[in-house]
Amino acid sequence: MRIIPTNQNTKKKSKFLDKIVCGGHSGTVLCFGRKDGETQVIFKTPPGPKVVCICLGGALGMIQDKIFCAYEDRVKGYTKKGKQFLTFDSNMVEPISCMYIYGVEMFLCAERNFNHFHDCVDANTYLCGDQINDVLCLPIVEGSWVGRGITPIIACNDKTIKVIEGSKLSYEIGLNDIPNVLHLFMNDGGFNKQKVLYGTKDGHLGLVDLSPETGTLIWEIPTKNASTITCICCYPMTNGSTPNIIIGKEDGLIELYVVDSTDKATFCQSYQCEDSVLNVQCGRVSSPDFDEIVVSTHIGWVFALTTEPIDKLNSTMALSPQVEVKVQELRNEIENLQQKIDKEQQRYNEITVGKDAVSVVIPNFIIHDQFKLDKETICYSLIIELTIPIDFVLLQSDITIELLDVEKNAAVVSITPPDE
């Protein structure tokens, strides 16, 4: 998911609102906006292969409003109105896992392969010794004294951040844990254009300074828990002198940090959602006067956290007759959907229970699962997420196990002792 920034030169105030573009497991790319409290779809592409990642690009120094989507080993480009302008086949042996766009430079990574394309022409390649988790490129610094060309950065599973020069490894900086996501500090690399934020799989947030010769770890701090950091965003949410750092986590926790004049981050506040967070972006989607944190989750939800005062929201909704009409329309739609579900369920029972019963094939669902050791509680965490509700989970073990209760637990546990 990405937020397409608005063109401030437009005359209509309604056009000041940013737009949201997101890709799904079905291969559909959806771009939509908000107007008068309603969601309006701008364009939607046909289904296809799973969308791996979405990046925004454009000419350097201009608004980054070109949409680039990675599918398998291909990349497609769309304008903000949905017109396709690019179809690029990378000819990579492995499917694309992460992507970064910088002007006419395209950086594609598979599990262990890094590929750099200049204007869709193969420029550099690098074979990494371990899995690549994320990629970005430092901004180009021009000048005879401090000039620096294209500098790709990759985060790897061997607990390192690697700096690539051409098709060779320039140097690497070792970390205490596996870096899972990278983001340019302050969205531009900071004052020297070479600082990078990273989030690790054990929930640590850090900042490194990647100079041309060697890298330096500036700071690394623990966050509120040890859940994996899945995304990082920098945006001025608290009206401070510097943008804030917003991170999203695998357990649904969203944290906001304040950055002081020495580039140190301090925790400010957090929000807990129910699903695993895939991405967080910031902008003004619903109101031209209030900033929002837009969140996308693993099961397909997209929602926003706004800075607009609650009192104003309540008064606006109470005075708006459109809200009552919208609520009634939604209720009618829910009733119609429920009737369709009842009819289909009845038809399913007739097919499976009757004399001429037909064998039913269970469809394949995309499952997000993990089994990892939690260092804080010294226990293993089994994480299972589906795009549909989970009715029950059956766990069978040959050894004695103990299930620990957590705050968010809403399950009814039934334990069957083994036969002697």
Span 311-340, pLDDT tens digits:
655 555 555 677 788 888 889 999 999 999
Spatial separation of the C-alpha atoms in residues 218 and 264, rounded to whole Å: 9
**C-alpha separations of 307 from 215, 238, 285, 286 in Å:** 37, 9, 12, 11
Rg (the chain; Cα; Å): 24
Spatial separation of the C-alpha atoms in residues 71 and 54, rounded to whole Å: 10
Sign of the dihedral through C-alpha 46, 48, 53, 55? negative
What pLDDT does residue 198 have?
A: 98
Is the domain defined by 2-313 classed in CATH 2.130.10.10?
yes
CB atoms within 10 A of CB 120: 14
Residues 6+ apart with CB under 8 A from 401: 395
Model pLDDT for residues 337-377, shown as the tens digit of each residue: 999 999 988 888 887 776 666 666 667 777 888 888 887 77
Q: Is pLDDT above 50 for 97? A: yes
Spatial separation of the C-alpha atoms in residues 25 and 20, rounded to whole Å: 17
Spatial separation of the C-alpha atoms in residues 17 and 19, rounded to whole Å: 7
Model confidence pTM above 0.95:
no
Spatial separation of the C-alpha atoms in residues 268 and 247, rounded to whole Å: 12
Chain-centroid distance of CA 161 in Å reads 20
Model pLDDT for residues 15-44, shown as the tens digit of each residue: 569 999 999 888 999 999 998 778 899 999
Model pLDDT for residues 118-167, shown as the tens digit of each residue: 999 999 999 999 999 999 999 987 654 556 889 999 999 999 999 999 99
What pLDDT does residue 258 have?
A: 96
